[in-house]
Amino acid sequence: MQRTLRNRVLGAATALAVVTTLASSALIANAQTTDGGSADEVGAQGLPTSYQWESTGPLIGPKPDATHNVVSAKDPTIVRHDNEWLAYYTVANTPQGHWSLAFSKFSDWSQAADAPVTYLDTNPNIGSRYAAAPQLFYFAPGDEWYLVYQTGPPSYSTSKNPADPQSWSAPKNFIDETPPIVEENSGGWLDFWNICDDSMCYLFAADDDGRVYRSETTIGEFPNNFRNTQIVLQDTRDLLFEGGAVYQVDNSNQYLLIWEAMGSNGRYYRSYTADGLTGQWQLQNGDQSDPFAGIANVTFPDGQWTADISHGELIRSGNDQRMNIDTGNLQMLYQGRDPSTDGMEYSQLPYRLALLTLTGGGSC
């Protein structure tokens, strides 16, 4: 998510209307997860060797009001909690191009388009500061919810009630100073993602220049003392760009890393697997013609509306710090946009959120 690493001209642009056409209910009815920290293995079958997805149309779009002339909804994080979907995401204003966070909740995906929106700049603890690219999870050892996002540095707020956007604390930084290894390379990092195993927590990050960084702390020290930042993956800028995430697979010692790439026909996701969070990442699906998720392996029953399968999050089988996914029920909330908007200033691109459902693929 290009916001802090490069200077951008924030010119004015006309806000595009929200596209609210929903896909068939069959695609969205499968997205059910366990609440709280536990993760069930219902239908777990292991990761496929190739992927085929179906996409809804846009489900969540910008909802401007008198003080928020927003043009996009993007970079989502999503959990199921107390029989509701809780979605936090990035929004951008026009013409200022100011980045901030928003929140929606709804019990069923068919209600997502009409769900009220709360802008987190109305929370006095967060205010009008730059904030983007959220990640929401429950940290079970501390019995507290965390909202991770970028304010420049990797930051977080905490709450006992993730369904109340006014309850989040003022942000604190995981790491105050950019680590030397980041400074020596691209000079900046973004799109932070936290995941823990039984003893350690790891903070992954992109740099928009082909590197994946990982910092670490013990689970007892979390959220403090992140250290030992290192490069764990490196490739070209186009192949390892941004919008990454890491998941535990079926409560096992296998982990899945997905990272957004820039293709000739739009954004897409590549995937890697490793045994353990400090294991060597092995490319799984990395070609634009055979991606983890991209225009090459996504169908649109209600008509194609995007060429980008961009900054998204897999729906987890639980909400805790382990980031577990159930391979028997893979879905992904992602951002897409009308391809005719190519060439617009980045902050004004009219992203909307839609849902992918895995419908097939090669067997393990």
Q: What is the pLDDT of residue 9?
A: 30
Q: What is the pLDDT of residue 31?
A: 53
Q: What is the pLDDT of residue 361?
A: 83
Q: Is 58 exposed, middle or buried (0-12, 13-18, 19+ CB in 10 A)?
A: buried
- Lowest mean pLDDT: which of 85-99, 135-149, 185-199, 339-353? 85-99
Which band of pLDDT confidence, cut at 50, 70 and 90, is reported for residue 40? very low
Which band of pLDDT confidence, cut at 50, 70 and 90, is reported for residue 23? very low
Q: How far apart are CA 224 and CA 205, in angstroms?
A: 17
Q: How far apart are CA 219 and CA 99, in angstroms?
A: 31
Which two three-digit tokens encode residue 102?
């928003």
Residue of 34 and 103 predicted with greater confidence:
103
Which band of pLDDT confidence, cut at 50, 70 and 90, is reported for residue 45? confident
Choices 1.10.340.30, 2.115.10.20, 1.10.3760.10, 1.20.1260.10: CATH for 25-360: 2.115.10.20
Q: Give me the residue label for tokens 């903070």.
A: 203
Q: Is 80 exceeded by the pLDDT of residue 7?
A: no
Q: What is the pLDDT of residue 22?
A: 38
Q: What is the pLDDT of residue 42?
A: 42
Bond before 291 cis per omega within 30 degrees? no
Q: Indicate the SS3 state at residue 121.
A: helix
Q: What is the pLDDT of residue 35?
A: 60
| Range with top average pLDDT, 34-38, 95-99, 138-142 | 138-142
Residue of 40 and 290 predicted with greater confidence:
290
Which band of pLDDT confidence, cut at 50, 70 and 90, is reported for residue 186? confident
Q: How far apart are CA 105 and CA 99, in angstroms?
A: 20
Close Cβ partners of 230 (under 8 Å, ≥ 6 residues apart): 181, 213, 214
Which two three-digit tokens encode residue 81?
């909690």
Q: How far apart are CA 109 and CA 85, in angstroms?
A: 8
